[in-house]
Structure formats: C-alpha cells, structure tokens
Structure 1
Amino acid sequence: MSTSPEPLRALVDDAAVFPPGNSPLPEAVSAHARHRASAYGGCVGPLLVPASSADALLAVLDAGGWTGRGPLDLGVVARPGTDPAVLREGLAVLAADPRVDVRGAELGWTAGWRRLDLPGDLPLALEVPRERAAQDEALADVRAAVAEGDAVVAKFRTGPTPTWPWPPEDELAAFLVAATTARVPFKLTGGLHHAVRGTYAVDGVDEENHGVLDVLVATAAALEGAPAPEVAALLAVRDARALADLVLAWPDATTRRVRAAFTAYGCCTVTDPLTELADLGLPTSA
C-alpha cells in the first residue's frame, strides 16, 4: 500500500467562504493557514475566494490575518452569470500584491470566453452548463483549448444550489464519461463533503451527497471506457471500505491517470472528507 498521499494530493480546494459554509473571510484565511501547516496540508489546494472580494481579502492581509509561510495561494472565482469584468478586476488587484499567489481562476463557460482578456497563462476552470447539448459544446471547446496548450479544465457542480438541484448518479456519470471520452480534465464543486455516497444531515435537513471515493473509482472506470450505467452504479456504492480498498490497491499509473483527469474539487469543510478518508486508511500526510 502506498504511504504517500498521491491519490489525494492537492485534491480539496478550500471553499470555506462559499455556501453552505459561508465562513467570514478573516476566519477562512486564518483557518487556511492552519490547514496548510497541518499534517494533511499536502491534500489541500488553494483558498477559493469570490473575485468580488479581492479588496476585502487584501484588507484581511493588511490586518495580519494570514499567518502562513509564504504567499497565500488563491483561486479566484466568478460563478456563472457573473460579469467577466468582475473577474478581470479582481485578478488585477490580487496579481499586484506579492502577499498572494493566484493559482487559477474559475468562470462560467460561454462560447466567447477566449475573448474575455483574462491573463493568458493563468489556469482556468470553466463551469459547464447542465443541458446536454450545451455541455457537449462546452466540453468540445475546452478540449480544443487543451489541445492548443491552454491550461483549462471543465468544472461541474455536484452539490445543490437554489437554482441547481443535486445531480443524481446518472447525470454525474454522463458528465464523467463525456469528459474522459473527450480527454478533458475536470474539477468538481459543491456537495462532496464525505468519503462515500450517502444521505447526510445538512443544517438539520437530510441531503443526498456524492462521495469522494465514489468519484475517484468512477473516474477510473470511465477512463477505462466503462459505459455510463456502469459508472453510475459505482457512484451509487455506499460501502466505504470496499471503495477505499480499491483506491488503496491502485498501481501508481492508475493514480496518476485518475488525478490527471479529476484535478480537484472545492469543499467548504476541508477537514470533513479528509478525516473520513484518513480513518479509512487513505494516506493524507507524506
């Protein structure tokens, strides 16, 4: 069994300030420093912040809110429907400050995203539409950009919002199959708070959640050409021990291939999935 955290390395982007966590920005920055300094720090990606919060973030830094070593790693997010100018302005403000290191940006996909005058070398995640034809168009566009050497990934929402119902197994499976068939790397966002598929209480209300291990195993199957119904069946598995044993048994080549496809996901409660994964024997520290 591997003793390195490679299956989970930089897997969980810190989305503490986004729903349902809604952590105040000063608390999120302080907590992120603790995450990055912890034994599981290698599994944690950048802190995700709304593009509209750029000035507020720098005010937190002015007040001494960042206590981590080196610059604060950030991902700057403009959710679908946000005016791209907000993202451009936020990136310009943050890029000028040496106390932060902007690692990537996120934006809703549109057919004209290449004309948005964003920094050309900045990794970009484009949230794809839900409707099948539009999603196929977006994935084809992202594939073309990747083929041209752009650092672009597709992004799909796995948790509910007021306007986006929770996507069931067959819908998520269809996305995984489409993305892997098109050889498009992807990240996920929302709802992946637990190691395994289940029904969990969120603010006292039971909600369906996809599981991190389910997605890893389903991605591996999709990469091997499994059809969507088979991928959906893997996403429905609720046996955490069985899924963990599968991932722990992966050869290094499988781990690298899966993580090249499934690059990261945003989670507002970083420690919840990582604690569960560690309890199942997944390595979370080097």
Structure 2
Amino acid sequence: MATPLPDGPAERSIFARLVDDAGALPPSDRTLAEAVAAHRELRRSRYADLVGPLLVRTTSLGDLVDGMTQGARRSEPLPVIVVTETGIDAGFVEEALGALDGTPVVPVGIEVGPGTDWRALLDRRLPLAVGVPRSEHLETAVADIAREASDDVPLQAVFRPRPSAGASWPDEAELAGFIRTSIDHDLGFTLSGGILHAIRGRYPKGGQEQEQHGLLNVLVAVRWALNGDDVDELVPLLAEREPSELVQAVTRMSTADAAITRAFFTAYGCKRVMGPLRELADLGVLDLSEEAAGR
C-alpha cells in the first residue's frame, strides 16, 4: 500500500546544508575531477541550499589543487571539508592544510578518524569533527571532545553508521546510544556515510542486500532524544520501516524544532546526494521545486 502524502512538506530548514557531498571519497566510480564537476553542478542548482561542502581526503588535496590551477585561468574557490584517513598523523594534516593557502581549495572544516591527535589541529580554528570509537570507550571519547568544545573551538563528534573493516554494521541500539550520549554531553555530531535512503530498510549495495539506517529515522530520533527519550525509546524509531509515522513526525516539526534538531545533528556524508533527497520528495516531506527553493 502506498504511503499517504502529508498535508504539506516539512520545514525546509530541517534539511538545510544537511547532506555533505562524499562523491570524491573512495571507493568511487568517479574521478576526482568528475566529483568536483558534479558537486559544482549541485551548488548551482535549485537544491544548493540542501547541500553541504565537498568531502576530500587529505591525500587527494594535492591532486585537487593541481587540477584546479592548471592553465591560464584558476578555478573559482571550492569549499571543502578535509577528511583524514585512519592513522594519519596530525602533523601531516596540518602540512596539507598549510599547502592550501592561496589556492582555490578552501578548507571549511576538518574530519579526523578515531585515535588522531585532534588537539594538535585546534589552532586552525576550523570546525573540527572527531571520530569516536565503536566500543565501550565511546562515552569517554564523547565526553573528552565535549570538554574542549566552545564558541571559539567548534568541535563535534563523528559516528560511522556503516560496516567497516573487521566491524559489523552498527545496529539501532548502537546508533541510539551514540545519539543519547552526544546529547547528554551537549555535543553536536555528524554521521559519516551509511545513510543512502530516507527510511530504514534492506537495500541492494555491492551486489547484495544490506541493512541501512534511514535519514528520517535519525531526524526523528534526535528530536525525541532532545525531548528526553532514553535509548530504549529511540531504538524503535531507528528501527521503523513504515514511513507514515516518521513522515508525520517530521512534517509536524516547527521552525524551533528544526533549529534545535539540526544544532545537534549537523550533517552527514553521502556519495549520492540526490538519492535520499528525491526519496524525501517522493514521500511529500521535501519540496524540490524551483518555487520552494526560492522562498
């Protein structure tokens, strides 16, 4: 049975700059130049207000600068979030950032993996997202980041809601625990990959079906966590596969609800930016028309 459309779309501000473009991160079927071109097209489109910066690995920055400074004319500035690979030394990251000075590649944020000496990067005064471990040490790591966060030091946590080498897929209980912990420590967070669809479910990926979290599920869970719901109450929201209640919950959020939800869930990376956005449009949650973009 088709899901009935809501009376009207959700507050557009709920989705503003929500989806960071991970199209340049490996593994990818695009070259770096193709990923940059696709990102620029998105930023010129009527969806531009929904799209965050391009995510680029530290080790790709040199090639990116070379590609943008060839020829007589330099490319227009490209805002990027610099993503470090696991195990990369903070000194290498600092050196790579320094090499961007005076180039068209403009770092607007840094994302580092668990175990990186992130404090060494604080002098950059760039928004810094710090990966937390998927272990019993998660709460300690979140608390550690929260202690350093301030208006002068924009810090947030990063959680990866996808399987990784040697680790299983983080289920709804694990994701709920991260959300609850971050909010308890008054710390914003971003999610790194793994959310390719609007609603939780099993979807084809890499030639087989894979369990995946849903974007609407996460937005609703964050809002309910801010209302005081505990992990056990957030788990069913993240596990929900029927769109109706999630759609109703998001479309009923006020501007104030949207603002506080996004103050904590700041963004997430996705390789195919328009995939989840089009699904949101199909559900009636998001208006992708030119008229809506111009309001």
Provide the TM-score with structure 1 as the length reference: 0.91
Instruction: Deviation per CA, 1:31-78: give whole Å up to 9, x if none.
Output: 0011111111111100000011111001221247x998x521100000
| Residue 74, structure 1, aligned to residue 80, structure 2 | yes
How is 1:243-282 mapped onto 2 (pairs within 5 angstroms)?
A: 243-281=246-284, 282=286
The match for 2:47 among 40, 46, 49 is 40
Partner AA of 1:173 in structure 2: A
Give the match for residue 218 of structure 1: 221
CA contact (8 A) 2:156 2:189 kept: yes
Give the match for residue 108 of structure 1: 113
Partner AA of 1:8 in structure 2: F
Q: Which structure has the larger Rg over C-alpha atoms? A: 2
| Residue 85, structure 1, aligned to residue 88, structure 2 | no
Taking the aligned partners of 2:147 and 2:34, their CA distance within structure 1 comes to 40
How many residue pairs get matched? Answer: 281
How is 1:1-286 mapped onto 2 (pairs within 5 angstroms)?
A: 1=8, 5-63=12-70, 70-97=76-103, 99-110=104-115, 112-114=117-119, 116-132=120-136, 134-147=137-150, 149-281=152-284, 282-284=286-288, 285-286=293-294
Taking the aligned partners of 2:30 and 2:95, their CA distance within structure 1 comes to 23
- SS, match of residue 94 in structure 1: coil
Q: Following TM superposition, by how much is the alpha carbon of 1:219 offset from its aligned partner in structure 2, in angstroms? A: 0.4
Provide the TM-score with structure 2 as the length reference: 0.89
Taking the aligned partners of 2:56 and 2:15, their CA distance within structure 1 comes to 22
CA contact (8 A) 1:177 1:227 kept: yes
Q: Percent identity?
A: 39
Q: Following TM superposition, by how much is the alpha carbon of 1:213 offset from its aligned partner in structure 2, in angstroms? A: 0.3
5+ residue gaps, structure 1: none
Partner AA of 1:95 in structure 2: D
Taking the aligned partners of 1:32 and 1:80, their CA distance within structure 2 comes to 25
Partner AA of 2:36 in structure 1: V
Q: 1:145 to 1:269 in 2, by over 3 A?
A: same
Q: 1:15 to 1:168 in 2, by over 3 A?
A: same
Taking the aligned partners of 1:128 and 1:100, their CA distance within structure 2 comes to 27
